[in-house]
């Protein structure tokens, strides 16, 4: 290629020097300011699945202490508010 060669960017249509061209993972040939850099369509973090390890559930799991499931444990019937006549 000659020293004065130019190419037209596939994204913007701007003209850049041929020696500065960048080929992206999409196949586009673009200029340096328009390149995706290290994050392209294949390597972008949002395009990758999270690493999930298989966790085995415990069989017959029970808490160490008995927990009250409803209300206050100190409630007694005489604590009720009398209703009107």
Give the residue extent of every domain in the chain. 1-47
Contact 32, 24 (CB under 8 A): no
| 26-80 pLDDT per residue, tens | 888 999 998 877 666 677 778 788 887 888 788 887 766 655 566 555 656 665 6
30 class by beta-carbon count within 10 Å (0-12 exposed, 13-18 middle, 19+ buried): buried
Question: Which pLDDT score is estimated for 39?
Answer: 67
**Whether pTM exceeds 0.85:** no
Non-local (6+) Cβ contacts of 63 within 8 A are none
């Amino acid at each position: 290629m000659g020293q004065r060669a130019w190419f037209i960017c596939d994204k913007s249509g701007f003209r850049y020097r041929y020696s500065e061209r960048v080929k992206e993972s999409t196949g586009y040939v673009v200029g340096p300011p328009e390149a995706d850099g290290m994050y392209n369509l294949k390597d972008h973090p949002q395009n990758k699945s999270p690493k999930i390890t298989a966790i085995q559930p415990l069989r017959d799991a029970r808490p160490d202490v008995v927990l009250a499931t409803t209300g206050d444990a100190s409630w007694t019937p005489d604590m009720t508010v009398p209703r009107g006549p």
